[in-house]
Amino acid sequence: MSKNEKRKSSLLLTIRRLFGIREKETDLLKEEQMQSPFRTMVRNFVTNKVAMFGMIVFLLIFGTVFIGSAIYPLDVNQQDTTQQNISPGFNMLSIPSALKDNAQDVAVGSTFAVGVDRDGKLYQWGKLTEKLQKMPDADKTYVQVSAGLNHALALTDEGKVVTWGNDRLGLANIPFEVKDATDIKQIAAGYQVSFVVTESGDVYYWGNPNALTISIPEELQGTVDKLVLNLTTAFVLTKDGRVVMLSNSATPFANIPEEIQGTVVDIAANDRAVAAVTSDGQVHVWGTNDYGLFEVPEAAQGKAASISGGRFHFTVITQDGTVVSWGNDLYGQSSAPELQNVVSTDSGYFQSYAIDEDGHLTGWGLKGYLFGTDQYGRDVALRMLAGGRMTMTIGAIAVIISTIIGVIIGGISGYYGGWLDNLLMRFTEIVMSLPFMPLAIVLSAIVGNRLSEVGRISMIMVILGLLSWPSLARLVRAQILSAREQEYVTAAKAMGIREFTLIFRHILPNVITVVIVNTTLAFASCLLTESSLSFLGFGVVEPSPTWGNMLNSAQNSDVIADMWWRWVFPSIALSLAVVSINLIGDGMRDAIDPKSNER
C-alpha cells in the first residue's frame, strides 16, 4: 500500500471515529464479529414481532399509569353520593341543537339537565335514567323547569305542576294544594324533595320527609318570594328582603349576617355555604369556607345582580350582564366563559348554564366520565391510573426483593457447593413448600389491621418478595454450577481475585440474561398475586385503589349486569399488563435460546 493510500485510509478511519460512522456489514470472507450474550439477546429480541408488540403495549400501559397519575392526581378520600354509578361518556353538556339559540329556562340535576324553549317545548339531556326518559305530555306548553337528584319538575302555562323521574318516597304524590293552585311562581326540585312557591307567598313541599330537616313556621306563609335548596336544608327570601333558614338545626348555615336582613334581593345555596346579593350589589357568604367560597371575586363584588349555587360553587350575573363563577373547579364548573347580556343562570351540582337576552344557551363544567363512576361516585379512570401505579409499584419492588435474595443465595450455593450448597438448597425447598396464598392471607389478616396504609402496602411488598425467590435461586445456582468450570473463572482465580468479586462481577454478568427473563416473568406473577390478594380483601384496602380491589366490588350480579364499566376496564388493564409482560418474557427466553421454539 502506497503512502497516499495509507494516509487516505488513516483519514477515513479518523472521520469514522469522529462522527461515529460504523463500517459496513462484514462480508462472508471476513471473520464473524464477536458479540456479548446480552447483545445477542437484544438483537434476537428485536426481530421477534410478538415480543416487540408486548413491549410496546406494556410501555404504553406503564407510561399511562405513571405519567397520567402524576398529571391527574387522585384524592383517595374524594367521593360524591350524587355521582354514583354513572356510565361512561361525555354527553352531560350535549345541549339539544333546537334549544341552543331559543332557550327560555334551564335547570341542572345531578347528571342531567332539563330546559324549555321560548315556544314552550321541553328538552332534557345528559345521563338519563329509565324513568327520566319518560318525559311528560309533549302537547302542553311549559314555562319553567327544575331538576333535582334524579327527578324533575315542570310548570305549564296553565299553572299546573308535572313531575317525572324517580317516583319513590312520595315524589310523585303532588299535594292537592299544589294541584289546585293557579298562582304558582316558582318550582324547585331538590334531593328527594320538591317545593312550590306561590305568588301569594305560600310554600308547599312533598317527597321524602327524612331527606331534609324542614320546618316552615306558620307566620312565614304568605311572605315568601323565593326558595333555594341544598342537600340538607332550604332557605327562603321573603318579600321584605330577609333570609330565613327552614330548619332549627345549629349549623354554620344558621349564621345569617344580621346586617343584610331587609336588603337582600337574591339568594343561592350550595352544600358548603349560602350566599346573598344585597341591593347595593354586594355578595355576602356564610357557612363553611371550603374551596374559597368566602373569597368573592372582585369582578362580582359590588356589581352582582343575581346569583345561583351548584354543589360547591356559586355563579353571579353582574349588573352589566357578564358572568362570574368561583368555588370548587374540579370539573371546570367555576371557569365561566366570557359572556355578554346574560339574563339568567342555573348552577346545579357540577355544571352551570347561562341564557342571554337572545335566548342563546351556554354550558360549562362536568361533561362526563371517561370510564364512568363507582358505587361511591368516584371517577373510575382516575382510580385506574392510581391503582395501576400502585399495582405495578408493589409488583416491581417485590420482584426486586426476590431477585436480590435469589441471586445472592443461588450464586453462593452454586459457586461454593458442598455442605453450604446442601444447606441453602434445603432452606430453599422449605420456602418453596410454604403455601403462599394462605400464608399471605393469614399474615395480612393478623398483622395488616394493626398497620397504617403505608405499612400495610410495605408488608405486602415484603411478603411477595420473601416468598417468591426460590425458583430464581435454583436457576442461578444451575447456571453458576456450569459457568464456574469455564477458563475465565480459572484465570481469575489464578490472578487472586476475591471469591465474592468473582461470583458477582465475573460469573453473574455472563448468566444475567437468564436472570432478566426469570425476573420479567416473575413481575407478571407478582401483579396477579397482588391483585388476587386485594380482590379477596387481604391486600391494599379502600380507599387506596389497585386493580385488584377495584374488581372486588364487581362480585355483585347487579354490578356485572348493569354497571359493566366498574369491572370491564380494570380487568382489561390487568389482563393487558400481564399478557404483555409474559410476551416480553417469552421473547427474551427465545432470544437467549433460539432453538427453544424447535423443541
Q: What is the 3-state secondary structure (H, E, C) of 361-402?
A: EEEEECCCECCCECCCCCEHHHHHHHHHHHHHHHHHHHHHHH
Cell of 505: 462481577
Q: What are phi and psi of 462, to 5 degrees?
A: -65, -40
For the cut 90, the answer to whether the pLDDT of residue 284 exceeds it is: yes
How far is it, in rounded angstroms, from Cα 484 to Cα 385? 46
User: What is the pLDDT at residue 28?
Assistant: 39
Q: Whole-number mean pLDDT of the chain?
A: 86
Q: Check: CB of residue 115 under 8 Å from CB of residue 147.
A: no
For the cut 60, the answer to whether the pLDDT of residue 532 exceeds it is: yes
User: What is the pLDDT at residue 32?
Assistant: 42
User: What is the pLDDT at residue 24?
Assistant: 47
Which residue, among 92, 99, 266, 108, has the nearest Cα to 190 in the 3D structure? 108
- Sheet hosting strand 193-198, strand order edge to edge: 184-189, 193-198, 203-207
Helix axes 436-447, 508-536, angle to 10 degrees: 60
pLDDT digits (tens, 9 = 90+) for 540-560: 778 889 898 888 877 777 888
For the cut 60, the answer to whether the pLDDT of residue 18 exceeds it is: no
CATH superfamily for 91-211 is YVTN repeat-like/Quinoprotein amine dehydrogenase (2.130.10.10)
Residue whose cell numbers read 352531560: 92
For the cut 50, the answer to whether the pLDDT of residue 26 exceeds it is: no
DSSP letter string over 36-58?
-HHHHHHHHHHT-HHHHHHHHHH
**pTM of the complete model:** 0.82
Q: Check: CB of residue 305 under 8 Å from CB of residue 275.
A: no
Range in 8-22, 93-107, 310-324 with the lowest mean pLDDT: 8-22
User: What is the pLDDT at residue 107?
Assistant: 95
How far is it, in rounded angstroms, from Cα 323 to Cα 112? 22
Cell of 569: 376496564
pLDDT digits (tens, 9 = 90+) for 300-323: 999 999 999 999 999 999 999 999
| Residue 197 binned pLDDT confidence (cut-offs 50, 70, 90) | very high
Which residue, among 311, 277, 256, 360, has the nearest Cα to 109 in the 3D structure? 311
For the cut 50, the answer to whether the pLDDT of residue 29 exceeds it is: no
Average pLDDT of the segment spanning 197-210: 91
> Is 44-80+378-597 in CATH node 3.30.1330.20?
no
- Where is 198: in which H helix or E strand? strand 193-198
593-597: long-range pairs with CB below 8 Å, 24+: 594/44
Average pLDDT of the segment spanning 479-484: 80
For the cut 50, the answer to whether the pLDDT of residue 495 exceeds it is: yes
pLDDT digits (tens, 9 = 90+) for 502-514: 777 777 777 777 7
How far is it, in rounded angstroms, from Cα 590 to Cα 143? 73
For the cut 90, the answer to whether the pLDDT of residue 445 exceeds it is: no
CA angle, residues 490, 492, 497, in degrees to nearest 5: 130
User: What is the pLDDT at residue 328?
Assistant: 93
Of residues 450 and 287, more confidence is placed in 287
Beta strand spans in 12-156 (E): 103-108, 112-117, 122-126, 142-147, 151-156
Cell of 399: 420482584
User: What is the pLDDT at residue 188?
Assistant: 95
User: What is the pLDDT at residue 587?
Assistant: 85
How far is it, in rounded angstroms, from Cα 377 to Cα 110? 11
User: What is the pLDDT at residue 517?
Assistant: 82
How far is it, in rounded angstroms, from Cα 570 to Cα 141? 47
Cell of 216: 316552615
What sign for the dihedral angle of Cα 548, 553, 559, 563? negative
| Residue 412 binned pLDDT confidence (cut-offs 50, 70, 90) | confident
How far is it, in rounded angstroms, from Cα 150 to Cα 142? 20
Q: Check: CB of residue 145 under 8 Å from CB of residue 133.
A: no
For the cut 50, the answer to whether the pLDDT of residue 99 exceeds it is: yes
Cell of 263: 336588603
User: What is the pLDDT at residue 22?
Assistant: 53
Look at residue 149 and give its three-state secondary structure. Answer: coil
pLDDT digits (tens, 9 = 90+) for 155-183: 999 999 999 999 888 899 999 999 988 89
How far is it, in rounded angstroms, from Cα 16 to Cα 30? 20
**For a pLDDT cut of 70, what percent of the chain falls above it?**
91
Beta strand spans in 199-301 (E): 203-207, 224-229, 234-238, 243-245, 264-269, 273-278, 283-287
- Where is 16: in which H helix or E strand? helix 3-19
For CATH 1.10.3720.10, the residue range(s) in the chain are 44-80+378-597
Look at residue 263 and give its three-state secondary structure. Answer: coil
Average pLDDT of the segment spanning 372-399: 91
User: What is the pLDDT at residue 593?
Assistant: 65
Which whole-number Å values give the CA distances from 591 to 14, 67, 327, 587, in the listed order? 35, 30, 57, 6
How far is it, in rounded angstroms, from Cα 81 to Cα 375? 8
Length of the chain: 599
Which residue, among 178, 224, 179, 180, has the nearest Cα to 199 in the 3D structure? 224
How far is it, in rounded angstroms, from Cα 100 to Cα 130? 25
Q: Check: CB of residue 305 under 8 Å from CB of residue 264.
A: no
For CATH 2.130.10.30, the residue range(s) in the chain are 222-368
Cis check: omega of the bond before 438, within 30 degrees of 0: no
Q: What are phi and psi of 347, to 5 degrees?
A: -120, 95
The top-level CATH class assigned to 222-368 is mainly beta
For CATH 2.130.10.10, the residue range(s) in the chain are 91-211
Average pLDDT of the segment spanning 28-39: 51
| Residue 36 binned pLDDT confidence (cut-offs 50, 70, 90) | low
